[in-house]
Structures are given as C-alpha cells and as structure tokens.
Amino acid sequence: MDEVLAGKTALVVGASEGVGRIYSLALAQAGVKVAAVARRVLPRDGDPACLQEVMEAGRGLGPPILGLGADISRKADIERVVDETLAHLGHIDIFIFNAKSSSGYSDCLSVPDEHWDNTLQINLRAPYAFLQKIVPGMKARRSGSIIMMSTRCALPVSIDDPGHKNLLAYGVTKAALQRLSTYFSAELAPYGIAVNSLSPGNVNVLTGGAPPSIEQFAPPLLHLARQTAQTMTGAWLNTTDYGTAWP
C-alpha cells in the first residue's frame, strides 16, 4: 500500500502484457483502483496474455482490477472505455498510455501509407482522444498525473542504433507523442496536473528475455504517478536511469 497513491484511480491503456501488465498490477498493489484496457480480453491461440489473466493476477494484491476490452483505433471504443471507467470508479486520477504500434519495418523511402495511417492512429490520435475525454475531469478537480510511454526511438539516435533502422514511422509518431506531452504539460500546469513521458527501455534486453517484474519496472512508474505539476512535469525519463539520474 502506498500512502500517496492508495485510494486513487487509474486508467492504463495497453495493459494485457509486458510492462503495461506490470504497471496495472503495481498500481493495484499500491492501493489504486485500476481500469486496465487492451484489445485482447480472453486467451487466444495458446497465448495467455489477456485482460482476464491480468485481473486474475491482481486478485489479492489490492483493489480488484477492472478489465475493459477495446480497439483504440476506434474513437467510439476510446470514449466507451473512459465512460465505463468513470461509471465504475467515479473519476480518473492517473492516466497511463502504454499502447503502441510500429506497423512493421520499412526502408525510410518505402513506408507504406497503411503503416503511416496505423502508427499515427495508435501512437498519436488515440492518446489525444483519451486526453479529450479525461482531462476535463482532471481540470475540474485540479489534480492528476498523465504518463505517456515513450521510447528512445523518439530521440535522435545513431544510424547504427536498433532504435533507428527501418523505424521511421514509429520514431516520428513517438516524437510527436512527446511533443503532445510537453504541450499538455504547459497547458495543464495551472491546474496542478503533471504530464510526463517514460521510456521503459529495451525490456527484453533488461530482463534477459524473462517476463518483466514489478520490482524492476514499477518503481519509476509509481514515482511519476505521485507527481503533480508543482513537483515534476514536462519530463522525458528513462527507466534505466531511475535511482541514478533521477528522481
């Protein structure tokens, strides 16, 4: 139980696997009421990663996790899951956007139109649609923490870096998401709302191929969830630097 976060509510998008799953479980363990959003609700084709598994894994950790299935490429689905979260939890104190789309790999002059369309929709238009629905309530309460999951692909990196090669659409849309975050950090600062970006790093490398754990990946996320506009906002931070370069 976390004395700052306990009793708050959170909406986590992209919550059925990987670090999104870990963030949902860690928030529940901290005493936060969590609505977890993902496309896959039930196991499929032998893959256990789904909202049902997250809800079961969260039992006994803290408040029950509410699983909400959605295709966030559809604005109607985004509006529905926010409305359902508000109906069940009352309001949203913490918003974490962890969903992403890379839409495959392409040479920089050969990115198909459909790749641009999909990455723009998931990596930029979807988080903006969530903000349109969530921010008015945070402004009314004059509090909140928004965390956009980022990547080093959003930054200028060496041509030899794995975050560069054949990832033009992904990197450009994630860079745009970073600007969306800094834009909203300025707009929402007068209301006490923090808006920060967090890169989890290369999860497979950091875990040696094992599933991510709460102990390794949750502390930076929980730290950002506690922030206000007065303590930290507009930052781009890397999980691997937590405990050294920040907080």
Interatomic CA distance for residues 154 and 39, integer angstroms: 24
| 161 in Cβ contact with 184 (< 8 Å) | no
Interatomic CA distance for residues 5 and 217, integer angstroms: 17
Q: How many helices (H) and strands (E) does the chain have?
A: 8, 7
Catalytic residue among 23, 105, 170, 191: 170
- Assess whether 170 carries a catalytic annotation: yes
Pick from 222, 225, 202: which is nearest to 212 by CA? 202
Interatomic CA distance for residues 18 and 97, integer angstroms: 13
Tell me which DSSP letter residue 176 carries: H
Q: Which amino acid is at 233?
A: T
Judging by beta carbons within 10 Å of its beta carbon (0-12, 13-18, 19+), is residue 42 exposed, middle or buried? exposed
Residues with catalytic annotation? 170
